[in-house]
Structure formats: structure tokens, C-alpha cells
Amino acid sequence: MKELSYFRETRKDSTLLYDGKVLHVYKDTINLPNGKTGMREYCRHGGAVAVVPLTREGKVVCVRQYRYALGRVTLEIPAGKIERGEKHYDCGRRELLEETGCICKVYEYLGEIVPTPAYVSEVIHLYMASGLEFTAQKLDEDEFLDIEKIPLEKAVDMVIKGEITDSKTQIGVLKVWHIINKK
């Protein structure tokens, strides 16, 4: 996409408001395209990877887990944050193994998504994994989740009906559905 330079905002001053493990919150004074100054509050995030694991039978391997910020259980594809110095390719394979116990023979990049560009810098890289071999999960000590295998067509219906609300899962499932049905 061609960048329209007349939209560009430049940082004049930056203040770190909170420096957490996952999020780093800033308040910046910026120069606006019209020559005036403005203010932006935002979170810097190191990025993440999400994987759509697809079994030979055409089922998506999902995880159910409690999401504290929402106060409820969600149904999602396996995902996790990229560790410092880690490539997104490797992160996705690591998260797939940790959360589902899956190792894959085929691993295809589906692109990136930007879930909340207005105030978070997070970029999520999406992959599709197939040729799955199931081994033992390697969950982090603070990770509690259940695995659920859902036929791809049913997962698409769940997205459309609003039963799957997680954005990375919605986009990943719909992309895989499109790829498979385009063949």
C-alpha cells in the first residue's frame, strides 16, 4: 500500500507511562500534518503468531481458555507472543506444540493482521498447519486450556453466528476456508 505522506504524524516527545511484561504504554506529543501538535496514547507490543491447525479430516484444532481481561472463556486458534529475538515462523511452531501438542509437516504463511491499530502496535502473523502429528502438550505453568477439534465448515458458521468472537481466530478460519474452497 502506498503511504500517503500528507497523513504522516511525527513524534515530538514521548513519555513511557507503564513498562510491563507484554505492554508498554506511551503518551506522545506529535506533529500533525497541518502543522499543529496533538497527543497520542498507545501500547507497544512485540507481536504475536496464530496458527490454524487443520487435521486430515478437515477439523480445526482450537483451544478453549479463560481470558482475564474479558472475564470469560473464549474459543481460539493456538497463538502466542513472539519472544525477544524469535522469528515469527519459529514462534508459531513453538506455540502450536505447547498449546496443542501438534507437530506439523506443512506450515504455510497466511499474512499478518493488525487487530487494534488505533492504539496498539501489535502485528499478528497467521499460519496454517497441516500434516499434523499429535504428541503431548507443553503448556506454560500459568496456562490452562482445553483442546477442541471443530470441522472447518462448522467453525466458519460459528464465526458468522458470532459464536467465535476472537478476531485472529475469525480471520484465520475464514482465510483457510477461502484457500481450501478456491482449489
**How far is the CA of 101 from the CAs of 87, 98, 147, in angstroms?**
20, 6, 10
Provide the b/e sequence for 47-72 (b: ≥16 CB within 10 Å).
ebbbbbbbbeebbbbbbeeeeeeeee
- Catalytic residue numbers? 141
pLDDT, residue 153, reads 98
Q: Kindly state the cell numbers that stand for 142.
A: 500459568
pLDDT of residue 180: 94
In terms of phi and psi (left: phi > 0; alpha: psi -120 to 50; beta: otherwise), the region of 107 is: beta
Q: Summarize pLDDT for 86-103 with one digit per residue, the tens.
A: 999 999 999 999 999 999
Whole-number average pLDDT of the chain = 94
Say what the pLDDT of residue 139 is.
85
DSSP symbol at 36:
-
pLDDT, one tens digit per residue, over 141-167 is 888 999 999 999 999 999 999 999 999
